[in-house]
A and B are shown apart, each in its own frame.
Chain A
Amino acid sequence: MTVAWAFDAILAATVLAVACWTMAIRDTFAAVVGFVAYGLLLALVWVRLTAPDVALTEAAIGGGLTGVLLLGAAARLRPAQAAAAAETPGLALRLVTGVGCALISAALAAAVLLLPDPAPSLAPAAVADLPAIGVGNPITGVLMAYRALDTLLETVVLLLGLIGVWSLTPDSFWGGVPGPQHPARTDDALVFLARLLPPVGIVIGVYLLWVGKDEPGGAFQGGALLAAMWLLAMMAGLAKAPPTSRRWLRLVLVAGPLVFLAIGLAGLALAGAFLAYPEAYAKPLIMIIEVAKMLSVAATLGLLVAGSPERTPSR
């Protein structure tokens, strides 16, 4: 029973307590605040599980961007909350559901406790081929080389999600500007922050991309940071949300998947298989894909939070 074990036990208990509070509290806005706290505590758990890349992604996307999205939605849906809350199911249904969910948790816990004891691992296989790719971070190696197909499909799924969000706009606003009108404020604490933070944030975001080759980091984390800076500027009224019909915006959004797909198809010709990299050029090709991917991911994540267009484009 070391200090580290005690810390882990307290952390796990705190995460469970915050999750229970989030589920039980009546006010939806408070529940969203609890969820943001849950996301940040989860990032700590990822650090204790020696997964710093995942911790960065959870803090940025799971806690930060999802939190902003849900806080905005909770604020806008406040008028409808009272009516919906009146439909809470009765005690019998809650008891039965509780028992069912407890059984599922118990089954999962049993499965975890029965995991095989020298645990099978792909780490030796992952590390063995890293020098050939030229990256030092095994997670970047997995994302960009061993499972590059998954990453390509993930960028496409992000784009499809954005198309889904855009397709929910009423016909009269098609091609319009997403999100509510943020008044252009002056002399405000938020404007001060939005002037001071984005340069720092952009530098750190690009740094996260560059350092992700050999240390924890990567394109998704850097892209999430860039998206957050853009959203901050939009919320302070310093940058205007672009109309979704602009060609440059659509080009930026598809640049990531297109570059990835093009290099993958070139791999068919140059290295014998889809998404195979020619041996000497693996690292530069991966960096090119990562840069394009970061820009696309940043734009897509920012627009996903901004939502479907609600204002006509001012021509």
Chain B
Amino acid sequence: MSATTLFALGASALVGLGLYGLTIHPEPLRKILAFNLLGGGVFLLFGVVARRGAAAGLLADPVPQAIVITGLVVAFAATALAVALLLRLFKETGQATLRADAPTRTGADGADP
């Protein structure tokens, strides 16, 4: 079993782990963490496919690698948006929970929600 296959199996395990954390943790910030873990595993799978496509004097296929670079930047933008949403939710309700029946309060400065 080559090292690349080892990384591929590890990446599959990371995807399962991230999915588990995303489903189980009630806190939204932990869900965002698990989502990033899951994303890391998916990108590693792309990297394994790229490594297996070594040809024409290159050590790896450049197309999946370029796609992963794009994906990393977009995943960061999505994480930043999710964190901003969470912080605004916390500022408005005083709690960081996704439960629909959680008690709320108006913002401390009386700003319109």
Contact = CB atoms under 8 A, between A and B. Distances in A.
A157 B79 CA distance: 13
Contacts of A115: 49, 52
Given A73-B87, A121-B54, A170-B112, A108 B45 contact: yes
A200 interface: no
B96 to A, nearest CB: 4
A8 interface: yes
21 contacts: A4-B3, A5-B2, A8-B6, A9-B3, A35-B33, A46-B47, A48-B7, A49-B48, A53-B65, A62-B72, A62-B75, A73-B87, A77-B96, A84-B26, A89-B26, A104-B19, A112-B11, A119-B49, A124-B55, A126-B56, A168-B84
Interface residues on B, range: 35 or more
Nearest to B20: A101
B34 A220 contact: no
B61 A102 contact: no
Interface string B70-100: 1011111111110111111010001111010
Given A89-B24, A142-B66, A158-B77, 6 more contacts: A12-B9, A19-B14, A77-B86, A108-B15, A112-B5, A112-B11
Interface residues of A, number: 100
Contacts of B19: 101, 104
Given A19-B17, A23-B37, A62 B76 contact: yes
Contacts of B81: 161, 164-165
Interface in A89-105: 89, 93-94, 97-98, 101-102, 104-105
Contacts of B83: 69-70, 73, 307
Given A87-B26, A122-B61, A305-B80, A38 B37 contact: yes
Interface of A: 4-5, 8-9, 12-13, 15-16, 19-20, 22-23, 28, 31-32, 35, 38-39, 42, 45-46, 48-51, 53-54, 57-58, 61-62, 65-66, 69-70, 73-74, 76-77, 80-81, 83-85, 87-89, 93-94, 97-98, 101-102, 104-106, 108-109, 112-113, 115, 119-124, 126-128, 138-139, 141-143, 146-147, 150-151, 154, 157-158, 160-162, 164-165, 168, 170-173, 218, 220, 297, 301, 304-305, 307-308
Contacts of A301: 76
Contact of A126 (B6, B47, B63, B68): B63
Nearest to B63: A122
B55 A123 contact: yes
A172 B87 contact: no
Interface string B15-40: 11111110111111110111011001
Given A69-B79, A119-B52, A42 B5 contact: no
Given A19-B14, A49-B60, A308-B84, A84 B76 contact: no
B13 A105 contact: yes
